[in-house]
């Protein structure tokens, strides 16, 4: 497990910024109250086997006793680097994204399962949407009861959504909690 280098940090922060905007500062400066130290530490990003983890510094210090090949996971896995070098957010980062999301979309109960099965969000299934969304922005998808379901990319702006047909795509699906559950079943 090692800290991210400058290029890796830039790529990770750009991806996170797409979804949480200026709230990235809250994520980086979030105090950690874990461990035996009376003083609160901070959270940091670490790389282990092409996966990026969001973990408290006190946990990183304690994990140094474990050999790298034996260390499976540490903290919250927020994403992974592909063989081509691009960074992909994983569904495990959903709690961090949902707590700090800049743009949000709420789905009607009738379209929640469609999204969880991997389909895009249609205008007819849209319950609410935050203002000032432009195409290409990262959005976090919630149920009407504020349960985070996944995240995606806005295909239309907030103003365009008001004029669309019910069958037009509003949010492009990227990841949902169903993927996490399907991965658990395969293990």
What CA dihedral angle connects 150, 156, 161 and 166, to 10 degrees?
-70
Kindly report the CA angle at 53 between 94 and 73, in degrees rounded to 5? Answer: 105
- The verdict on residue 84 lying in a domain is yes
pLDDT bucket at 176, cuts 50 / 70 / 90:
low
Query: Does pLDDT of 38 surpass 70?
Result: no
pLDDT of 139 above 90: yes
- Asked if residue 160 belongs to a domain, the reply is yes
Per-residue pLDDT of 62-103, as tens digits, reads 888 888 888 888 889 999 998 888 899 998 999 999 999 999
Domain end point (choices 71, 96, 121): 96
User: Of 18, 29, 100, which is closest to residue 10 (Cα–Cα)?
Assistant: 18
Alpha helices in 106-174 (DSSP H): 109-116, 158-163
Of 48, 64, 96, the domain-final residue: 96
The strand pair at 138-143 and 126-129 is best described as unpaired
Q: Domain for residue 187, yes or no?
A: no
Full domain range(s) for residue 137: 103-181
Query: Are the C-beta atoms of residues 115 and 91 closer than 8 Å to each other?
Result: no
- Assess whether 16 and 88 both reside in one domain: yes
| Burial class of 19 by CB neighbour count within 10 A (0 to 12, 13 to 18, 19+) | buried
Query: Is residue 6 domain-shared with residue 84, that is, in the same domain?
Result: yes
Residue 162 pLDDT: 87
Distance CA 57, CA 45 (A): 9
Q: Which pLDDT belongs to residue 165?
A: 92
Compute the mean pLDDT over every residue in the chain, rounded to the nearest whole number. Answer: 86
Are 11 and 88 contained in the same domain?
yes
* pLDDT, position 33: 65
Total domains in the chain come to: 2
Domain holding 170: CATH number? Answer: 2.30.130.10
In this structure, is residue 26 part of a structural domain? yes
pLDDT reported for residue 16: 92
Question: Can you give the pTM of this predicted structure?
Answer: 0.84
Question: Tell me: the pLDDT tens digits for 15-25?
Answer: 999 999 888 88
């Amino acid at each position: 497990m090692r800290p991210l280098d400058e290029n890796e940090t830039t790529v990770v922060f750009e991806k996170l910024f797409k979804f949480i905007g200026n709230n990235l500062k809250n994520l980086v400066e979030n105090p950690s109250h874990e461990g035996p130290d009376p003083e609160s530490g901070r959270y940091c990003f670490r790389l282990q086997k092409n996966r990026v983890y969001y973990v408290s510094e006190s946990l990183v210090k304690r994990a140094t006793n474990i050999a790298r090949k034996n260390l499976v996971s540490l903290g919250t896995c927020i994403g992974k680097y592909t063989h081509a070098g691009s960074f992909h957010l994983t569904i495990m980062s959903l709690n961090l994204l949902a707590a700090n999301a800049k743009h949000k979309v709420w789905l009607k109960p009738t379209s929640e399962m469609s999204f969880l099965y991997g389909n895009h969000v249609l205008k007819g299934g849209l319950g609410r949407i935050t203002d000032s969304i432009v195409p290409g922005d990262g959005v976090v998808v919630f149920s009407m009861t504020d349960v985070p379901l996944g995240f995606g990319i806005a295909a239309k702006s907030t103003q365009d959504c008001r004029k669309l047909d019910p069958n037009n795509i509003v949010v492009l699906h990227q990841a949902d909690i169903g993927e996490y559950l399907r991965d658990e079943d395969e293990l």
